[in-house]
Every structure is written in C-alpha cells, then in structure tokens.
C-alpha cells in the first residue's frame, strides 16, 4: 500500500490482490509536525485493511469420478447420497446449484441443493430392482448462481463429475402380478365355488416358492378361503346379493424360505345377481270405488318392485289370477310400462249390498327363470260427490243408519262408566260397615260383650280332672309350664314317693319355687304358678266351694237387687234358688 503525504489517501501498490491468498493487512501511518524537521513531534496509528470477496473462483469437484452403493430396498423419495463441489469464494459468491445433465439414471434419481452446507442431495424417484438393472451412471454439474461478468474470462463458473450408482441385491417379499384384483361370483353359489386366482412371484434370483393366505382382519375376510399353493380364492358361505353386493378382502403372500417377508394385495369381489326374488307391489294400496262409478273407469294405478337388479326383473307383467273365474266387478289393464290400471266392469256399486271387494293380482318379472307372485287388492265402496271426491265409506254409513252419532255413543259410554263406579262404591261401603257389639238393651256400657250361655257352676266336673287337683303328686311326672314353650328338654326328676297325708303344702310350694328358679327354660321375668290344693287345719275352716253342693247356705242374696239393673239377672237367679229352698 502507498500513502502520499499530500493526499492522506491509502492506495494499493500491487495489481490483482487475491483475497484467497491474504485477506487482512495492517498499515502503520506516522504524522510529523515542523514539516518533518528535526525536533518536531510525531504521532502514529495502525490501519487494518480487509479485502472483500468477489466471485473470481469457479466451483470444482475434488474428484472426477464417484461411486455410490444403494440397496434395491430403498424407499422412493428417500435420500440415498450426497455430493459437494468446492468453491474458494465466500458468501453468495459460493452459492451453487447441482443438476443431473445426462446419464441413464436421470429418470430414476433426482438431486437438490442444501443451501446451508452447499451439498447436492441425491434422492430416489423410482423403486430400484436389482434383477432388472444393477447399476446407473449420472453426470452431475455444480454451477455458481451469482456470476460477476468482470471475471468471466477466468473460465466457466461450473464443474462436472460422473457418479456411478451400484444397486445392491436385497431379499425382497413376493411381488403380485397386479396391484389389485377384481373378481365376480354369482349369488347362491355353493360353498367352495372358485372365485378367481391371484399370482405372486419372488423377484429375487433365488425365485423361492410362495405361500398365499387371506389376511383375516375384518369379518368379510372370513367369508372366503384361498389355496396356499395356487392362490385360488373360494367361497366359504352362500351369498345374497340383495344383502351385500360387494366384498373387499386382503390377500397376503410370503416366501416359504423366509415367512417374514410378506406382501399384500387388495381383492374386490362383486356378487352377481340371480333372479331369486319374485316381484311384489310397490306399496300397500287403499283403493276406493265410488257407488256412482261408471264401467271402464280407472280407479287405481298400481306398480311393482323387485329386489333383483334390472337385468333380472325390470320388466313386469300384471294379470288377474287365471285360476279364478272372470271377475264381474273389476278388470286389470297392463300398461306395458311396469304399471297396471284397475278398471270398473259394471255400473253402480252399493255399500249396503257389499262394501269390500278383494281382487287377486298376479305379477311376473322378465328374469331368467321368470318369477311371479300373487297379491290381493282390497277395494272399498264409498259414497262420492259428483266430481269424484270421497264423501263417506261403510264405517260412517253404518253409524248413520243406526241413527247414532259419535257424540251420542261417547255420552252413552260415559253414563255406563259412571253407573258402574256408583255400584262398586255402594258394595264397598256395605262390606266395610261393622255390626254393633252390644245386643242387650239393658247393658248400657259400650265396651261389654254379652253372651247368653252360662257355665255349669260347681256341679260341672267334666272339664277337668278333680283327682289331679286333690292329689298334686299324681301329676308330678307330666308337669309343663303354660306361660312359655320350653326350648330344651328337661331331664326327668324322680322324687321319693310319699303319701298324701305326709305332704306339707309349704314345703311343696318351696320345692316348686326352687325348681322354677333353677329351670333354664324359665323366661327372665316373674310368672305366677297356681296350685289347686288347699291346706288343712285352718282355723277358719274350708273356703272351697267344691263340696258346697251337699250343704245349704243361709246367705241372703236380697241385697243384689239394690245393685242396679246390671245385677238384675243375678238377683233374679239367686231369688229363685232362695224361694225353692223355703218351699
């Protein structure tokens, strides 16, 4: 560099300076006063100079021949290799684009440029097949995208290299002869009917044997079977086209030597139609004929439908049932367009004579073999206006002839329902009414129930055993509690027998009390036990009434009459006994 003192401008001193050879320079500049004479002062500074880049270097491949290995199993669209041309420039001056200019692999491979690394990315456009082509040759060009025409004399700013691609052999799964199959089978075909055959081969040079099977992923795949050796598909059920007209299954093929390599192919099976459904009326027809109809009048046009396709039943023929005699009331005309017309044959129809007519119609199709069905049309006779509008039919006419309207019938029905409800209510009240308990006029108490029968008194000894009362030891062995039902059996207790005269009542009661206390079946509450035996040597004498029948009492019962009307009967009873004694 030069620095003329008078200008203060730094200038280059060399021609064609090269940034690629040296990019940075440092220049020291000194300034002196007193015109540089001795004794003057001076100062210096350093100037750093950087050369900027221009596109003066074309790209160059390091090698003129490259070789790349790609297996035939590589996926289409995947990157299989990279290539790069060197450029000494930097920045945008080093940007380049890679292209395939010729070669037999230009239709199989493609190349793109990575702008970050400035590399060429080689990708696969079509699948490789080692058995068909084992290698490809590509001529790849790398060229700058930003040219500086000032340096065009330095040569073309691009370079070309040759790339040879070697295809590697890989054990591949079997390959079907078609990407998909479409087969057909007639409905109602027997189980085991052959539908079609699929074919697959081993693409490798070994040409291994192939085994076929149906991929049972869906329910439809179970309706067909396939021969593992030949690939013949057969039916596994009887099909109905009207139910399902089409089935889709998936067939798989694998090598016998390497079952892990499997390929699949879709198979569509169309069910062909067979004329197995007779035609039928398109809908339920409600046909009405007016009472004032004229002969030859069209009262209804009918049509038919068939579940089979148009090849087996699109043409329908209508006729009356030939097995019956000629219908005197109606006729049928085939319109030759898959419809038929019902016509009247006579004049005047009467609802009172006949309100409903039945017309059997025979419908046949044009399939092979032809099928037919019979349907019965119901024709009602109705009263119509002059313009043909229906006014009323037989149901309303019946009500009119009876002289009762719909409102009158509803009123009658409502009255019957109310009457039945009243009857049911009356019966319920009668059953729920209670009879009074008091039947005696003399007894004014409401909580006393009276009975007319009287007991036998002291002379009635038939209801009990008097011996058991007088001799308690006689019932010693069979003595049970009457207030509860014992839950456990008692071990029988044996006591030494003693005579009646030696029994002490007080000891007897204490003994029974002790037994009751020790009895495990006694409930946890007090109970009253009564013993009908009286002691002896009482100073007051006996108070029992058992022997009173042999003695005469001197008691006066006249005071019973002063007790009121409640004791009137008792006073009269004892009054009669007293009078008998006095007489």
By DSSP bridging, strand 158-168 and strand 65-71 are parallel
Whether residue 520 is contained in a domain is answered as no
User: Do 70 and 154 fall within a single domain?
Assistant: yes
Domain assignment present for residue 571? The answer is: no
With respect to residue 235, please indicate whether it lies within any of the assigned structural domains. Answer: yes
Is the pLDDT confidence value at 25 over 60? Answer: yes
Instruction: Give me the DSSP letters along 344-389.
Output: E-SS---TTT-SEEEEEEEEEESSSS--EEEEEEEEEEEEE-TTS-
Backbone φ and ψ of 120, nearest 5°: -95, 125
179 and 164 in a common domain: no
Question: Which of 159, 164, 165 lies closest to 62 in space, CA to CA?
Answer: 159
For residues 231 and 290, membership in a common domain is answered with no
Q: What pLDDT score does 147 carry?
A: 81
Contacts of 449 (CB under 8 A, 6+ apart): 437, 438
CATH code at position 287: 2.60.40.60
* Residues 115 and 202 both lie in one domain: no
The structure's pTM equals: 0.45
For residue 233, count CB atoms less than 10 angstroms from its CB and return exposed for 0-12, middle for 13-18, buried for 19 or more.
buried
Task: Check whether residue 192 and residue 256 sit in a common domain.
Answer: yes
Rg of the chain taking only CA atoms, in angstroms: 65
Measured on CA atoms in the order 395, 396, 400, 406, is the torsion positive or negative?
A: positive
pLDDT beyond 60 at 251: yes
Query: Are 156 and 235 found together in one domain?
Result: no
Q: Of 139, 168, 197, which residue sits at a domain end? A: 168
Same domain, 306 and 368: yes
Q: Where are the alpha helices (DSSP H) in 218-353?
A: none
Compare 193 and 408 and report the one with higher pLDDT. Answer: 193
Number of domains the chain is built from? 3
The three-state secondary structure class of 293 is coil
- Identify the band that residue 386 occupies on the pLDDT scale cut at 50, 70 and 90: confident
Please, which residues bridge with residue 135 across strands? 166
Structure confidence at residue 343 (pLDDT): 93
Does one domain contain both 290 and 370? yes
CA–CA distances in Å: residue 128 to residues 49, 102, 145, 271, 510 = 56, 19, 32, 38, 122
Burial class (CB in 10 A: 0-12, 13-18, 19+), 53: middle
Residue 397: its pLDDT value, please? 41
Residues 468-513: pLDDT tens digits? Answer: 555 555 444 444 444 445 554 444 444 444 444 556 777 888 888 7
**pLDDT given for residue 478 in this prediction:** 46
Residue 47 lies in a domain: no
Q: What pLDDT, in 10s, does the model give residues 122-167?
A: 999 998 888 888 899 999 999 988 887 788 777 788 899 999 999 9
Instruction: Let me know whether 287 and 388 are in one domain.
Output: yes
The domain of 148 spans 65-168
Rounded mean pLDDT of 168-195? 91
State which of 122, 137, 168 marks the end of a domain.
168
187 in a structural domain: yes
Question: What is the band of 87 on the pLDDT scale with cuts at 50, 70, 90?
Answer: confident
CB 376 within 8 A of CB 360: yes
Based on the domain organization, do 268 and 284 belong to the same domain?
no
Q: Tell me, yes or no, whether 210 and 294 share the same domain.
A: no
Please tell me the distance from the alpha carbon of residue 31 to that of residue 186, in angstroms, as a whole number.
110
Instruction: State how far Cα 554 lies from the chain centre.
Output: 101
Mean pLDDT of all residues belonging to the chain: 79
């Amino acid at each position: 560099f030069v620095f003329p003192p008078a200008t203060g401008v730094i200038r280059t001193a060399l021609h064609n300076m090269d940034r690629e050879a040296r990019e940075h320079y440092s220049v020291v500049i000194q300034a002196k006063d007193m015109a540089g004479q001795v004794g003057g002062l001076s100062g210096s500074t350093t100037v750093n100079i950087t050369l900027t880049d221009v596109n003066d270097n074309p790209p160059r491949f390091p090698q003129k021949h490259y070789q790349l290995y790609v297996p035939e199993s590589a996926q289409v669209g995947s990157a299989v290799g990279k290539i790069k041309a060197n450029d000494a420039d930097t920045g945008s001056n080093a940007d380049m684009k890679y292209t395939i200019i010729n070669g037999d692999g230009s239709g199989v491979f493609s190349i793109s440029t990575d702008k970050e690394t400035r590399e060429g990315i080689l990708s696969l456009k079509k699948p490789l097949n080692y058995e068909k082509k084992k290698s490809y040759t590509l001529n790849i060009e790398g060229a700058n995208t930003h040219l500086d025409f000032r340096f065009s004399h330095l040569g073309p700013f691009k370079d070309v290299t040759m790339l040879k691609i070697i295809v590697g052999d890989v054990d591949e799964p079997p390959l079907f002869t078609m990407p998909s199959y479409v087969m057909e089978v007639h409905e109602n075909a027997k189980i085991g009917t052959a539908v079609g055959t699929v074919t697959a081969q081993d693409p490798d040079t070994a040409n291994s044997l192939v085994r076929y099977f149906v991929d049972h992923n869906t329910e439809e795949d179970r309706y067909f079977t396939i021969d593992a050796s030949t690939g013949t598909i057969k039916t596994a059920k009887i099909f109905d086209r009207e139910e399902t007209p089409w089935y889709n299954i998936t067939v798989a093929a694998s090598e016998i030597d390497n079952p892990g390599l499997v390929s699949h192919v879709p198979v569509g099976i169309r069910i062909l139609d067979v004329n197995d459904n007779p035609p039928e009326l398109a809908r339920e027809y409600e046909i009405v004929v007016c009472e004032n109809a004229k002969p030859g009048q069209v009262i209804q046009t009918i049509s038919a439908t068939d579940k089979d396709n148009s090849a087996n039943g699109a043409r329908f023929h209508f006729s009356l049932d030939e097995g019956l005699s000629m219908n005197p009331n109606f006729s049928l005309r085939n319109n030759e367009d898959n419809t038929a017309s019902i016509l009247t044959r006579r004049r005047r129809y009467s609802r009172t004579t006949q309100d409903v007519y039945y017309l059997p119609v025979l419908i046949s199709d044009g399939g092979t073999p032809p099928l037919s069905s019979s349907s019965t049309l119901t024709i009602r006779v109705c009263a119509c206006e002059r313009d043909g509008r229906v006014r009323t039919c037989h149901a309303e006419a019946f009500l009119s002839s009876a002289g009762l309207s719909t409102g009158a019938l509803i009123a009658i029905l409502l009255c019957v329902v109310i009457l039945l409800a009243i009857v049911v209510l009356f019966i319920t009240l009668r059953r729920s009414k209670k009879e009074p308990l008091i039947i005696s006029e003399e007894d004014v108490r409401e909580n006393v129930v009276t009975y007319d029968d009287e007991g036998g008194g002291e002379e009635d000894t038939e209801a009990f055993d008097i011996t058991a009362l007088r001799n308690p030891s006689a019932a010693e062995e069979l003595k049970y509690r009457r207030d509860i039902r014992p839950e456990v059996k008692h071990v029988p207790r044996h006591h030494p027998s003693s005579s009646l005269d030696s029994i002490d009542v007080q000891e007897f009661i204490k003994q029974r009390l002790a037994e009751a206390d020790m009895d495990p079946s006694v409930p946890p509450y007090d109970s009253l036990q009564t013993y009908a035996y009286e002691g002896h040597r009482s100073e007051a004498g006996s108070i029992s009434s058992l022997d009173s029948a042999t003695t005469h009492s001197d008691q006066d019962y006249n005071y019973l009459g002063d007790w009121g009307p409640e004791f009137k009967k008792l006073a009269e009873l004892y009054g009669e006994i007293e009078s008998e004694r006095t007489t």
